[in-house]
Amino acid sequence: MGCPNQQSEVVAVSGDTKGCSCAPPKTSSAFMVNSEIGAVLAVMRRNVRWGFHYTADEDQLDHPLITSFKEIRKQVFSWQHHWHTISPVIYLQPFLDVIQSDETSAPITGVALSSIYKFLTLEVLDMDTVNVTDALHLIVDAVTSCRFEVTDPASEEVVLMKILQVLLACMKSKASVNLSNQHVCNIVNTCFQIVHQAGSKGELLQRTARHTMHELIRCIFMHLPDVCDNNQDFTPGGRSHSGDEASIPDEDHSSASKPQDNGYTGSKIELAGGPLNLSTNIPEVKMDHESTGDVDQSKTHQVAEPYGVPCMVEIFSFLCSLLNAVEHVGVGPRSNSLTYDEDVPLFAFGLINSAIELSGPSLGHHPEMLALVQNDLFHSLMQFGMSPSPLILSTVCSIVLNLYHLMRVKLKLQLEAFFSCVLMKIAVNKHGASYQQQEVAMETLVDLCRQPGFIHEMYANYDCDISCSNLFEDLANLLSKSAFPVNSPLSAIHVLALEGLIAMISGMAETMGDGDQIPVLEPDASNLEQREAFWNVKCESYENSDCWVPYIHKMKHIKKKLMIGVDHFNRDPKKGFQFLQGSCLLPETLDPISVACFLRYASGLDKNLVGEYLGNHDQFCVDVLQEYAKTFDFQEMNLDIALRVFLETFRLPGESQKIQRVVEAFAERYYGQSPNIFANKDAALLLSYSLIMLNTDQHNTQVKKKMTEDDFIRNNRRINGGNDLPREYLSELYHSICENEIRMTPEQGVGFPAMTHDNWVGLIHKSRQTAPFIVCGSGEQINNKMFAILSGPTVAALSVVLDLVDQETVLQTCIDGFLNVAKIAGCYHLDDVLDGLLVSLSKFTTLLLPMSIEDSILAFGHDSKAQKSTLAVFTIANTYGDYIRSGWRNILDCVLSLHKLGLLSARLGHDAADELESNSDDSVRSSLVNPVKPALPPARKSFGLMGRFSEFLYYDMEKPAPQPSEEQVEAQKRATEIVNECRIDSVFTESKFLQSESLLNLSRALILASHEDENGAVFCLELLITVTLNNRDRIMLLWQNVYEYIANIVQSAVMPSTLVEKAVFGLIRICRRLLPYKEELTDDLLKSLQLILKLDARVADAYCEHITREIMHLVKANAGQIKSHLGWRTITSLLSITARHPEASEPGFETLEFIMLDGAHLLPANFVLCVNAARQFAESRVGDVSRSTKSLDLMAGSSVCLVKWSREAVGEEPETALQLYQDIGEMWVRLVQSLRKVCIDSREEIRNHAVLMLQQCLTGLDGIHLQDDAWVQCFDSVVFPLLNDLLEIVEEKSVKEYRNMEGTLILSLKLLSKSFLHSLPRVSSSALFSKIWVGVLSCMEHYTKVKFRGKRSEKIHELVPELLKNTLFVMKSTGVLSPNASNGLWEQTWLHVKDLAPSVQSEVFPDDEPRTVVAGAVPEVNIAVP
């Protein structure tokens, strides 16, 4: 019966019994109790003492322990049907008596504990059990006061482990919610005492005890979020959590045991082998009624009620006190395995961390708990953070990270102090920290940077708070410097620092969508310049971003100016005040309040200067001192703490008078806020002086005889209005000063000071007045200000690390960092940042290194860093091109290098619209030049023998190229894949989406980049043309630069080259593509083509045909858009040049024919220009005669346009019509003048055809309206000069040169007669008519005298009289020639006629014919000339 082997049983305590239901049926509970009774009795019988009494001495059969078990056995089975009505206290009591008995041995106690453990884990006790609360209380009381006889160490350890099991089972039981605060504290205290004693025990007990302690803390504090605040408010009396002293329990513990009276050495759980005799230096969890004799009804209720916040406060306080107790515990070599240099802090911090993790944000909802975290815990974290142990530092950092996550809103200044005094200083190795410590600190900083919103909250709460340090800026600089390997290889710390920077950048980039432009909220400049008390600036709502964003912008602006003012003040206070007044931070006339607030709240002031200023005897300074003291809140603060807070802000001056003034101001302020302590302010003054003297006495090494406590109390007798202050009060002050010096010489220097006791006290006081913590959320509204601080250090660090690293993961991390920086810079339009990024990245592409093509491709194809950098460069160019300025040059350097390597597509320089152009243009339009095999300059074809022979030699000298290796082929393939991923073509084809300034910078960069070699220049020119064509809607932005660049190329060319070819044809291409869309730019575009006219003759000759064909395409496509005289003059000038070029004349004439045929595209603006151009083709001897003939036909056919325009002018206003008629007349004169010039051509067919076309233009335009003076001008400048010129040719030129001139003269005489007769009605009324008529007669007379090969022409002799007779008949019939005329025309006529044809007069005017004719009517006269 029973289980005797349970005495050596070790049951694991890590199992969680709370989450599973192991409750037996109620009917079996009786059997379970009976079984456990049997087990205990069985073990007791094996014991010599109990066995002897049981068999030999019948009187001992009634021993209370055994009797109680037997009594339960008698009744237990009768309870099984109504078990739920049985109080568990009845059947538990015998087991608890055994546990508490001094007479039982360890095995017996162990079995009893196992039974209790079984009842708890199998849920024999549950929430429905009667009196379950009392039962649990009894169990806890019994187990925590467990006694047993020590028999052997192994048995003792088993009992201790079972105690841990039972206590943990109590806490994990569902009924544990009924435990009181006191019982929970007792459980924790007992477990910790076992942990303390386990140092001299086995390893298993040590680990089990610690694990149980952790489990207990988890069980207790996971209950905190469920605790009702209204019912759990608790403020233990006598505890001041604003102080810094650990709570050390009294020597007389309530749970202590004394040596037993029965003569043997008993054992309680606190110490093995003897009674409890704990050192008073070991902390203990105690509810307040234990340490004080006064227990009122309220406290009793709190102690007895179900556990909640009160016990958690005490437990948490106990855990914090473990850290404070470290320095007070003297540890022997084997007295405890908890080595207090590392083990105890780690154990305590582990428990604290568990409590924090399970409490969650609820930890900050209870004032007492919050006070412990803010003061006790964080002070310990600050101290142990500087421990040389990396393990302790890591644990501390984990706790701080949890506290930041859960309670940062209530730990603003504490977090600032830890970051500045611990993490950052260790990370930069300011205190000789080991590499491991640096790594831990850096890992923590990086983990913090990875927290969403961390960097935004650092900036908003610290960098924008005038009383705090620039934490965000310091962190950015620290990480940047730590990422730089200085004279050392890249280490883990460098990579960690880089990851921190990238985490900060990524945190900002993640708040922005792709391509989003975040609105930038700037502070109102008008508000910044207003005079306002900066110490009174408040935010309307720290939760509403519409309020706090402008607020922090304003505070940051104030802080920047304030820091400058502080710097001036530290050099010269007077200049500092002057600067602050000029910056509107102090009033124009200084007052004590504003100066006092400046000295009080501005950070970075020289505390020596502040002390000297405050102690000055000047009345203004005295007033400032009074106002300065009023800025402190000393309520509910001990005098020594208040004095520390006051003196921590400045250095107490050395002169006694200054000290007196300062201390008087302090005493007056303290007394005003604490009138219940002192009778008057003099008492506060005297005691303050006394504390300063005590501080000097205790902590000055030159003072050998130190003041005792009695001396101090004696010195302060009767200072309180003639009465003594309480001895306890003075004693407390004495010990506070002795243990922690008031430092009269504060640390100076930039940055956060070392955290001394006084600094910590001042920080706690300052935390009451600091601005609330701002929770930023995404923080995108302040990213721009933060990025301005962060971008520079980040880019520098990324560049350095990328230069040194080869690991793939680190490489990708750096590239991602660059891209995130680019994303933010693009969102905020920070072109200087993007330009800097491109400068840095382009260096890592290896494309700019001077190497051969083969080596470059090989290096690029195998260099992951170069590939990733190149991808990043073009990713930035494609994504954020709008905000690139000078960086385009770096991008183009990379593009040029890839072009030289032959890795770019041949279509890169062509815009999208090129695909729509005809394939027939491909032979004319230039393509990109292969940089590896540059094209030869275009030249005229060599048809001669020497030319063919030279070509043969050239081809014969070519050698086959060597075959590339497999490595080169693979590198080429990989390089091509990377270049394709870069999407370089879209940089230029999508340039139409770039902002104007970026586009302008791109075009300038293309122009600058083209100054390298000719191949590069050609390539850049192609890209420039592509960009220009893709931005036709913004051509005015680019046109000036593009035109000037092309003009420079064209005008400087002296020989044909690829560059000048690209320039010329690119210019024509631009004009051709833009003319249909840019009517207002037509003249400028066409004027630019005049550059072609300035080409060197050799260059022009090489490209003339192609140029002409391009002009032809341009005219055919855009003739309707060309309206101006200037534009047509350029076109016709280019066409005129081609008239005498063998290859170019054909397309040139085709273009001219397209314009002039049927007057299709003739306009008043281009009429004369086209006629002149046609004359050039008519006179040209290039090509066959038919082209010249067609040219003359075009000239003559253009006259129909004059007729059409003349008719259109009829409906215009008179003034407009008159001007039109005048213009038409001028065009007609220019037409016939041009024809007249061709009439003297040496080629007979051309000459005669020209005369006929001239005659047609003079006599065949019936619908044209010509003024009289036009005809007069025509005779003077066309008809008469033509006849004279022809006559001179006959007389002076060779017959071989001008063949068959006789026929031409005959045609010209007919032209003379017909033109005269056709113009007679208009010129007859002219004053110059007689001159014209005489001229006609003179021409006929001269022509009759002309000789051909010494003989007169019979044809002319026959023709002239006939022409003359017909002319006279017409003149007679019209009344122009009459004997009665008074103008002398009659006489002049017959004077010339008689020499030409004497018989004509009689034929025309016979004597019998009437002499007069009715004037006006012109009869029809046959003027046909045979």
DSSP letters, 498-548, are HHHHHHHHHHHHTTS-TT--PPP-PPPHHHHTS---GGG---S-SS-HHHH
Whole-number Å distance between alpha carbons of 276 and 265: 11
Long-range Cβ pairs for the range 1078-1084 (8 Å, 24+): 1078/1032, 1078/1035, 1079/1121, 1081/1035, 1081/1036, 1081/1039, 1082/1121, 1082/1122, 1082/1123, 1082/1124, 1082/1127, 1083/1124, 1083/1126, 1083/1127, 1084/1039
Whole-number Å distance between alpha carbons of 1302 and 1020: 63
| Residue 266, strand partner residues | 149
The token pair at 438 is 């640096």
Q: How many CA atoms lie within 13 A of 810 on its CB side?
A: 21
DSSP letters, 919-949, are GGGTTTS--PPPSSSPPPPP-----SHHHHH
The token pair at 383 is 């101290």
Task: Indicate the Cα dihedral angle 775, 779, 781, 787, nearest 10°.
Answer: 130
Closest by Cα among 343, 318, 329, 413 to 374? 413
Neighbours of 183 (CB within 10 A): 25
Q: What's the angle, vertex CA 1363, arms to CA 1357 and CA 1366, rounded to 5?
A: 140
The token pair at 22 is 């192991």
The token pair at 821 is 């920086």
Q: Is 655 a catalytic residue?
A: yes
Distances (CA, A) of 468 to 117, 593, 604, 771: 55, 21, 10, 10
Cα-atom radius of gyration of the chain, to the nearest Å? 57
Contact predicate 27/83, CB 8 Å: yes
Which residue is catalytic, options 529, 543, 655, 739?
A: 655
Task: Indicate the Cα dihedral angle 646, 647, 650, 651, nearest 10°.
Answer: 160
φ and ψ at 151, to 5 degrees? Answer: -110, -45
Whole-number Å distance between alpha carbons of 1008 and 1022: 14
Residue 462 DSSP code:
I
Identity of residue 1369: F
DSSP letters, 148-206, are EE---HHHHHHHHHHHHHHHHHHHHSGGGGG-BHHHHHHHHHHHHHHHHHGGGS-HHHH
922-960 burial, b at 16+ Cβ within 10 Å, e below that, comes to: eebbbebbebeeeeeeeeeeeeeeeeeeeeeeeeeeeee
Distances (CA, A) of 1345 to 1240, 1293, 1311, 1339: 20, 17, 19, 10
Identity of residue 351: L
Whole-number Å distance between alpha carbons of 1213 and 1218: 8
What H or E segment, with its residue span, contains residue 864? helix 864-880
Whole-number Å distance between alpha carbons of 271 and 197: 6
Residue 773 DSSP code:
P
Whole-number Å distance between alpha carbons of 548 and 580: 25
The token pair at 495 is 């990579």
Q: Which residues are annotated as catalytic?
A: 655
